[in-house]
Amino acid sequence: SRKSQKIRSNFQAKSLWQTNGFHQWTSGKQVHILRRQYHPCQQSTNIPSEDLGSQNLLELMGKDHKRVREALLSFLKPDSLKQYVGKLEMEIREHLEKHWEGKQQVTTLTFNIICSILFGVKHGARRERFVELFDEAIKGMWSVPVTLPFTQYNRSIKASEKVRKMVKDLIREKRMELQQKENVMLAMVAGHETSATVLTFMIRALANNPEVYAALLYEQEQIAKSKRLGEFLTWEDLASMKYTWRVAMETMRLVPPVFAGFRTALKDMEYGGYLIPKGWQVFWAMSMTHMESSLFPEPTQFDPSRFENLTSVPPYSYIPFGGGPRICPGQEFAKLEILVATHYLVTRFTWKLWHRQFLQQGSYTKTNKRASC
């Protein structure tokens, strides 16, 4: 139609950018070429959200979306999370001792935590197989989508089927309240690399900013000192990690693990003089909002103090977890993972940034710090 013709040319001719979080879209062909819905945590990957199953949260709308989301939130809300603190801590301690201490290469921590806490899969051959298959499935998201026997994509699809089968068995066995295996898969995908990305960039930020590191270490050492040998962190300890969380927030501002997402226009709508026809995909990028100097002065500077007064940050300006009815239901869980992991990282390890050249030569070393708890 003439209307959509006009809109199309507008999108191609001009990049529209509003700094208001959710009312953002950019130009570019992808706006009207991409028709399939991708999970926000998948970023620009190859596995569309319907491949997670037709009943997964991302495929649902309206009442169905609300109902399934509430079921998911029942075990991700702070009240439920309180019960996980000890278990989560055990997992982090065990993982760091087994896979990090004295090692030159370290392995992802957070997916193991999800396996244990959300799905109750204990250490052992079954869990190793689960993690291995899931890693294989995830690789497909970054590979060329060609289904031939020798391609990574094909291997990933196969692994994904096996993971789904394992999840199904697990649900049956554990009689978990979660009705939809697709949403277990979704939670796994969503939590797979997001918190790990934050931890990775936090490690880099701490190495680059000695003053921030010193303040964060002080906060964590105060907590460590208040503990007897082997005593667990409490919910109150986590609540007192205020500076650490500001560092994590600033890390996510500069490097949002999910840098952008899509929304589909459910009806024709107008915004800022532009018409968005029903059915079009709208691309919103928090990575750009977070670099807006009117919202975050000197946006390229790493400055956790900008979050000291949260009321100074306008609504929908700081959006690493999205916003509105689809805001990340896993955000409190992610906070828990990040805070407990950071506690053990800074109280048990020290690290330095090395030039890539040194890494290739294998001269990267990890110094074991005193075990403080």
User: 216 to 275, contacts with ligand HEM by CB under 6 A?
Assistant: 257-258, 261
Residue 182 or 237 with smaller CB distance to ligand HEM: 182
The piece of 27-35, 120-128, 194-202, 289-297 that touches ligand HEM (CB under 6 A) is 194-202
Instruction: Give the span between the Cα atoms of 362 and 354, in whole angstroms.
Output: 11
Residue 304 or 329 with smaller CB distance to ligand HEM: 329
Instruction: Give the span between the Cα atoms of 275 and 268, in whole angstroms.
Output: 7
Q: Which of 327, 353, 359, 371 binds ligand HEM (CB under 6 A)?
A: 327
Residue 143 or 331 with smaller CB distance to ligand HEM: 331
Instruction: Give the span between the Cα atoms of 65 and 44, in whole angstroms.
Output: 23
304 contacts ligand HEM (rule: CB under 6 A): no
115 contacts ligand HEM (rule: CB under 6 A): no
333 contacts ligand HEM (rule: CB under 6 A): yes
341 contacts ligand HEM (rule: CB under 6 A): no
330 contacts ligand HEM (rule: CB under 6 A): yes
The candidate with the shortest Cα–Cα distance to 265, out of 2, 4, 1, is: 4
367 Cβ contact partners less than 8 Å away, ≥ 6 residues apart: 349, 350, 351
21 contacts ligand HEM (rule: CB under 6 A): no
322 contacts ligand HEM (rule: CB under 6 A): yes
The piece of 80-88, 138-146, 192-200, 238-246 that touches ligand HEM (CB under 6 A) is 192-200
25 contacts ligand HEM (rule: CB under 6 A): no
The backbone region for 119, taken as left when phi is positive above 0, alpha when psi lies in -120 to 50, beta otherwise, is alpha
Q: What is the DSSP string of 246-286?
A: HHHHHHHHHS-SS--EEEE-SS-EEETTEEE-TT-EEEE-H
195 contacts ligand HEM (rule: CB under 6 A): yes
In this structure, the number of other CB atoms found within 10 A of the CB of residue 266 comes to 10
Q: Quick one: 257 exposed, middle or buried, by C-beta within 10 A (0-12, 13-18, 19+)?
A: buried
Instruction: Give the span between the Cα atoms of 275 and 294, in whole angstroms.
Output: 26
The candidate with the shortest Cα–Cα distance to 41, out of 189, 144, 184, 188, is: 189
191 contacts ligand HEM (rule: CB under 6 A): yes
SS3 148: coil
User: 60 to 79, contacts with ligand HEM by CB under 6 A?
Assistant: 69, 72, 76
User: 152 to 171, contacts with ligand HEM by CB under 6 A?
Assistant: none
53 contacts ligand HEM (rule: CB under 6 A): no
Residue 154 or 331 with smaller CB distance to ligand HEM: 331
- Do the beta carbons of residue 72 and residue 333 sit within 8 Å? no
184 contacts ligand HEM (rule: CB under 6 A): no
Residue 86 or 324 with smaller CB distance to ligand HEM: 324
Residue 280 or 321 with smaller CB distance to ligand HEM: 321
Residues pairing with 350 in the sheet: 367
In this structure, the number of other CB atoms found within 10 A of the CB of residue 252 comes to 24
The response to whether 41 counts as a known ligand-binding position is no
Minimum gap (Å) between residue 230 Cβ and ligand HEM: 27
SS3 content of the chain, % helix, strand, coil (to 5): 55, 5, 40
Minimum gap (Å) between residue 110 Cβ and ligand HEM: 7
In this structure, the number of other CB atoms found within 10 A of the CB of residue 366 comes to 16
Minimum gap (Å) between residue 355 Cβ and ligand HEM: 28
Binding site, residues?
328
Annotated binding-site residue numbers for heme: 328
Positions in the binding site for ligand HEM (CB under 6 A): 40-41, 57-58, 69, 72, 76, 186-187, 190-191, 194-195, 198, 257-258, 261, 320-324, 326-330, 333-334
